[in-house]
Structure 1
Amino acid sequence: MELHVWGYDNEISVIEPECLASAWLLQSLDISFKIVTSNNTNISPTHSLPLLIDEEQKIAGYSSIFKFVSKKQEKKKNNLIEFALISYITENFKPLNQYNLYIKSDNYEKYTRKLFKNYFPFPMMYNQPLKFYYGAQELVSTVGLKSEGQGFFNFNGSGANVAETEMVNESTTDDVAISSLHEKQLISKSKQRKNLTEARYTLKCLTLMEEHMNHILKVYSSESGGTRKEEPEVQEEQEEQEENAKNEEKDESKENTNISVNLSDNFGIGKFIASDMLLFAYIYSLTFKELPSTFILNFMRTKFSSFTSEALKHITQLNENLGDTLYKKPESSEIPNLWNELVYVTKQFV
C-alpha cells in the first residue's frame, strides 16, 4: 500500500490534517504501507489528498480510508460512532484550521504560502497557494469567518498586484486621497481597520474552538461510559502524578502508557481510534509551533491546559512512530511537474 500525502521529504504537512491522521491510523493498525509525499492531486479520483493506493484500488479521504481498512481487517466495532465523530471533527475543525493557515494574514504570508515552494516547481509554486486561499475563503465564510487582507496578491480573481491605495479606495469609506500625506493617513487608517477586523474574527475563531472542544470532549466522555472531569480536577491529578513520578524511575515504555491512561481516564479518549487520530491531527495543525501567530496554541494551553499537555505528548509519540523508513519518494507520473500536468490536462480532452 502507498499513502500519498501533502509534505516534503520525510515530513507530512500541516496543510491537510487528514494526511497525518491517515498515516497514524495505518501505523497504529500495523498495516504495511509506504508514505509518499507526492503533493499530486491529479492522481486522486477526488483531486484531493490523502490517497491510499492498494494495488489497483484508489481510496481518497480519511473517512473512506478508515472504511476501507476496517473492512479489510474486519473491524466493525464502534464504526457507526467513529464515522459520526469523524464527520463532526471534520465539519467543525476544518474551517478553523483553514482560517488559521490561510486567512490569518501572518500565518499565510510568513509560513503557509512559503511551503509550496517545497511542494511544486516554478511556476506551479505560485498557482497552488492561490487555489488553496480561494477554497479557504469560501469554507471559512460558512462559519462566519472571512478575510479582509489581500497579502501580495489581489484575490478577487485578476491575479494582479494591488497597491495599498487601491485597498483604501475599495474600503467601506468614501475618503479620497488629496495629497501624499493624506494618502499615507488613509493607508494607516485602512491598516488599522484591517487589524481590528482580523482581531474580531480571531476572537470568533477562538469562541468556536472552545465550543467544539467542549462538545467533542463531552461526547468522548459520555461514549466511554464516564464523566468528563473539569480542567482543575485534571490539573490536580496531574500534579499529584508528577509528584509521584519524581519519586520513581520510569522507563520510556511505561511513560508512553501513562499518556494513554491520562487521556482515557480524564477525557474518555482511546476507545475510538480513527476519530482519535483525526482529532489529534487537527490539534497538531491548529497548535503548530512553527506558525508566526500561535494564538490557538496559547488559547488551548490556557483553556484546555491538561488536555493540550497530554495530547501534545501523545502526538509527539505518534510522529516518532512514523520512522524515516516508511517514506518513499514519488516516481514518474506521481511527481507534480509541468510535464505531468500537461499530460493530465490533455487526457481530460481525449
Structure 2
Amino acid sequence: MELHVWGSYKDGVISNFDPECLAAIYYIMFTETDVKVVPSSNSFNYKLPYLKKNDGEAISGYESIVAYLEKENGGKLDNWLSNEQFLLNNGLKVFIMDKIHSLTQYVLFLNKENYEQYTRGLFKKLLPFPMQYNAPLVYRDDAVKRCSNVGLNLDTGMLLGGVGYEDSTIEELLESEKKLKNTPNLTRLHSQKQQEKLNELLLRKNSINNMHCIHLAESYYNRILEFSRENNRNDDFSLFIFGEQLSSSDLLFFAQLNCQTLDVLPNNFMKIYLNFKFPNLIAKLEKFNNEFVNFKNLNIELPKDKDYPSLFNYIKTCL
C-alpha cells in the first residue's frame, strides 16, 4: 500500500503545511504499518492524503485512512480505548478538523505575510509549471470557507455568535482601502504614496484578523485542555489526551499544532501566543516531536507513472 502526501516529487522531502498528511504519516510511523509514503503532491484524483490500496482503490482523508487501517491491523492504535473513550475520540477528531483546523488554515493561507512570503512559494517545489499557481488558491478558498464557518469573517470582523469585535475599526479600514483603490494615480510619486498607504492599511487589517484568530484559539484550546484534564484525573502534564497512550486524535492534534507553529513562518504570532498563554501545550508538543517523531525510518518512495504530478497526467484526469 502507498500513502500519498504533499511533498517534493523530486527529492522525497515531506512537506509540513498539511496537518492531515502529517497525522497520517504519524499513524504509519507509530503503528509500524507496512505502507510506502509517496510524496507525490498529486491531488488530481483524490484529496491528499490518500491511501492507495494494493488493488488500486484509494481512501482519502486522515479519518478514513485510520478507520481502514485500524480495521485491517486489528486496531493497533485505538484498540486500548474503552467504548466510551472510542466515541469521545471520534468526536474529538471532528472538533479538531472543524475548529482547530480553521486556525491552521488561517495561519498558513489567510495571514498575509505567511501566505505571500512562505506558503504560496511552497507549491513551486511541490508541483511543476503551471500547476503550482492553482493549488494554493484552492487551499486559500477553502480556508476562507472554513474560517467563515467558525464565525471568523475576515472582512467584517465578526466573531462567534455574530458578536462584533473591533467592527468599527474593520469598517473604517475597508472604507479607506476602497477609497485608495478607486483613487486615480496622477503621477508615479502619487502612485507610490498611494501604495504605501494601502500597504499600511493591509498590515493593520492583518493585525486585527490575527487578534480574531487568537480569540478563537483561546476558546478552542481551553476546551481541548479541559477535556484532557477530565480524562487524566486533572493531570495537566499528561502528554496524551486519554492518558499515557496515544490515540488517533492525539496525532491529529499534534499535527495541527506543528503546522500552526512552524519556525519558518514570517509572522509566527500563533506560536508566540501559545508560548505565552499555553506553555504546557507547547512543552507537550516539543516532547512529542523530540521523543516520537522520526521521519528517517519511513519507507519513502518517489512517485512514478500516473502518480507523477505532471501536466500530462492532470489533463488525462480531466478527460
Unaligned runs of 5+ in 2: 156-173
Q: How does 1:65-214 map to 2 (within 5 A)?
A: 65-75=65-75, 76=79, 77=81, 78-146=85-153, 171=178, 176-177=183-184, 179-180=186-187, 183-214=191-222
Say whether the 8 Å CA contact 1:43–1:334 is kept in structure 2.
no
Q: Give me the whole-angstrom Cα distance separating, in 1, the residues matched to 2:144 and 2:260.
A: 17
- Change in 2 beyond 3 A, CA 1:296/1:170: closer
The alignment partner of 2:52 has SS state of strand
2:314 equivalent among 325, 341, 348: 341
Say whether the 8 Å CA contact 1:95–1:143 is kept in structure 2.
yes
- Change in 2 beyond 3 A, CA 1:174/1:318: closer
Hey, what does 1:49 align to over in structure 2? 48
The alignment partner of 2:271 has SS state of helix
| RMSD of aligned Cα (Å) | 2.5
Q: How does 1:6-25 map to 2 (within 5 A)?
A: 6-8=6-8, 9-25=11-27
Equivalent pairs: percent with the same residue?
Answer: 29
- Change in 2 beyond 3 A, CA 1:178/1:26: closer
Question: What amino acid maps onto 2:230 in structure 1?
Answer: S
The alignment partner of 2:239 has SS state of helix
The alignment partner of 2:178 has SS state of coil
- Change in 2 beyond 3 A, CA 1:143/1:185: farther
Say whether the 8 Å CA contact 1:218–1:228 is kept in structure 2.
no
- Change in 2 beyond 3 A, CA 1:331/1:198: same
The alignment partner of 1:205 has SS state of helix
Say whether the 8 Å CA contact 1:168–1:187 is kept in structure 2.
no
Tell me by how many angstroms 1:98 deviates: 0.9
1:223 equivalent among 206, 210, 231: 231
Q: Give me the whole-angstrom Cα distance separating, in 2, the residues matched to 1:270 and 1:172.
A: 57
Say whether the 8 Å CA contact 1:4–1:49 is kept in structure 2.
yes
- Change in 2 beyond 3 A, CA 1:216/1:182: same
Question: What amino acid maps onto 2:216 in structure 1?
Answer: L
Structure 2 residue 215 is the aligned partner of structure 1 residue 263: no
Q: Give me the whole-angstrom Cα distance separating, in 2, the residues matched to 1:227 and 1:324.
A: 35
Q: Deviations over 1:6-46 (max 9, x none)?
A: 112343222210111111112211211110001111242xx
Q: How many residues align?
A: 290
Say whether the 8 Å CA contact 2:180–2:198 is kept in structure 1.
no
1:326 equivalent among 284, 290, 299: 299
Q: Give me the whole-angstrom Cα distance separating, in 1, the residues matched to 2:185 and 2:132.
A: 39
The alignment partner of 1:52 has SS state of strand
The alignment partner of 1:171 has SS state of helix
Tell me by how many angstroms 1:130 deviates: 2.0
Q: Give me the whole-angstrom Cα distance separating, in 2, the residues matched to 1:175 and 1:123.
A: 32
Rg comparison, structure with higher value: 1
Q: Give me the whole-angstrom Cα distance separating, in 1, the residues matched to 2:243 and 2:264.
A: 26
Q: Deviations over 1:141-171 (max 9, x none)?
A: 22343557xxxxxxxxxxxxxxxxxx99971
- Change in 2 beyond 3 A, CA 1:14/1:29: same
1:278 equivalent among 226, 237, 252: 252
Say whether the 8 Å CA contact 2:37–2:300 is kept in structure 1.
yes
Say whether the 8 Å CA contact 2:3–2:38 is kept in structure 1.
yes
- Change in 2 beyond 3 A, CA 1:223/1:123: same
- Change in 2 beyond 3 A, CA 1:100/1:174: closer
Q: What TM-score do the two structures reach when normalised by structure 2?
A: 0.82
Unaligned runs of 5+ in 1: 149-166, 235-261
